[in-house]
A and B are shown apart, each in its own frame.
Chain A
Amino acid sequence: MNIIETQNLTKSYGKFTAVSEINLHVPKGTVYGFLGPNGAGKSTAMKMFLGLTKPTGGAFVINGKQFPGDRVQILKEVGSFIEAPAFYGNLTGEENLDIIRRILGLPKSSVSEALEIVGLTQYRKRLAKKYSLGMKQRLGLAGALIGKPPILILDEPTNGLDPVGIHEIRALIRSLPQQFECTVFVSSHLLSEIELMADNIGILNHGRLLFEGTLDTLKSSAASMGYPTDNLEDTFFALIDADNRQRGGVR
């Protein structure tokens, strides 16, 4: 069963099309890696799922609920982290999460749980604006994880983290479907990262979905098209490059 499904989802800004008629299928209880170079349209697609921007065409369903009619219901079930950590700099980490908790109507204990999951418990009383970039990133993740929502939409969640932090967050994301029975929709521009986390992947380039399926399917279809398959990074680059050439050298 697919928990997120899009039908020809499109977003245009004037003549520029950021997302072009994509049809995504995100199976329930899995980690779905949304892959693409910078500017491919990953964040725009994610923003549409969260109602931050209106689609100019197509539709999508999240957990059986249709946008925009069920927007509030959808947002109750989705924890998200988009582009960069967003927080109130004048409040502590704990106070930031408490605001989210109150809006979601969660018990008080959910704040300390979320802080514990991301390893920020000892810094909970520090002002968020005084956090390091990695700590801000973790606070953003805590804001997405609070209340253990059934769906998580994470846009490049390891940006700004040190290698240890990247490893921890990757392991956390990988464990979430088993731990909290949730579905994770995570974006990255690094195939190596997605490879370590995702069950299924979708590759986006210039707003178009080039591939969707498992990593094994990617390998076999790449092989059938004559692309290198020894290294998935090379497969990804070959796919993107072929698409760019087909589009007339646009990079």
Chain B
Amino acid sequence: MSFGLELRKVKRTGFLPAFLGGGILAAAVPVLNMAFRSEIYVGINAAPVNILLNANWQIMSMFNILLVVVGACIMYNTEYAEGAIQKMCTLPTKESTMFFGKIAVLIAVSILLLLIETISVFGCSVHWFEVSADLYMETLKSFGFFLLLMLPTVFCALLIASLSKNMWIGLGIGVMCVFAATMIPSQNFVLTLFPFALPFQTLENHTADVIRNYAAAGAVETVLIALLEIMILKVRRSFE
């Protein structure tokens, strides 16, 4: 029920068009890259998905993270702008339920985003490269990995958005986190665990052990951020 409610709340806010438009824009990156300079990539001796993601994923994931940050701010702005959150808190529901409902919506639109991008990468592979038997599996695995590493970002962006009544503060902090993440060297495992830096990682650039470590770190971060939000919600009431 919470998912449906949270989806209703973002009606007419531009939330869904933003994700749809952003997804199409991010999906256009590999298409345009290949359309204008395919000669750089077609000769490389590697799996097509690997080549395409190495060439385009940094910019695509940046789009994704920015969209998640903007989406989180839009969601909480509807709550704070006219004080609706206060009304919600006087109803027989928990504020944490609302938070997790928003998480579910943000994950759903992130899946939509990744799906559009996956179709684009798959289409580019088919159009510009020779299709191998494991292309489907490779693409799906990459999609799953991106989704898993996107979870801490989704949780963290919503946590930040939930903290401030002024949307611009949440948005400012979120954007700063995104730019800080782009400056983190991708070789340093510990630094790349920053929630906003995780989605930049690709499956193809790491060994099985490192992938396992990233997956575990992503899951742990997600749980920790969720627990932190629950704690904040409990403590905040004492100061209001």
CB atoms of A104 and B92 under 8 A apart:
yes
With A53-B240, A54-B237 given, is the CB distance from A86 to B12 under 8 Å?
Answer: no
Check if B92 sits within 8 Å of A128, measured CB to CB.
no
Q: Which residues of A are found within 8 Å of B207, using beta-carbon distances?
A: none
- The listed residue (A73, A89, A100, A129) touching B91 by CB distance below 8 A is A100
Which residues from chain B sit less than 8 Å from chain A, CB to CB? 1, 4-5, 8-13, 78-79, 81-94, 237-238, 240
Instruction: Please determine whether B13 and A86 come into contact, CB atoms closer than 8 angstroms.
Output: no
Given A54-B237, A54-B238, A102-B5, A84-B83 contact (CB < 8 Å): yes
Candidates B5, B8, B89; contact of A52 at CB < 8 Å: B89
A-B contact pairs, 22 of them (CB 8 A): A50-B89, A50-B90, A51-B89, A52-B86, A52-B240, A53-B237, A53-B240, A72-B93, A75-B92, A83-B86, A84-B83, A85-B83, A86-B84, A87-B84, A88-B82, A88-B84, A90-B12, A90-B78, A96-B84, A100-B87, A104-B92, A143-B87
In the complex, chain B residues whose CB is within 8 Å of the CB of A89: 78, 81-82
- Chain A residues within an 8 Å CB radius of B11: 90-91, 95
Q: Is the CB of A75 within 8 A of B237?
A: no
Q: Give the contacts of A87-128 with B (CB-CB under 8 A).
A: 87-91, 95-96, 98-100, 102-104, 127-128
Contacting pair A103 B90 (CB below 8 A): no
User: In the bound complex, what is the Cα–Cα distance between A221 and B145 (angstroms)?
Assistant: 75
A104 with B237: CB separation less than 8 A = no
What residue in chain A is nearest B234 (Cβ atoms)?
A54
Partner of B90, one of A80, A95, A129: A80
Interface centre among A83, A102, A127, A140 (most CB of B within 10 A): A102
Contact with B along A61-92 (1 / 0, CB 8 A): 00000000000110110101011111111110
- Pair A82/B86 contact, Cβ less than 8 Å: yes
Partner of A128, one of B4, B5, B82: B82
Q: Are B93 and A103 in contact (CB under 8 A)?
A: yes
Given A88-B9, A91-B12, A95-B11, A76-B240 contact (CB < 8 Å): no
A5-26: contact bitstring with B at CB < 8 Å (1 yes, 0 no)? Answer: 0000000000000000000000
A75 and B82 contacting across the interface, CB-CB below 8 Å:
no
B82 touches A103 (CB 8 A): no
A159 to B98, CA, bound (A): 30
CA of A83 to CA of B88, assembled, Å: 14
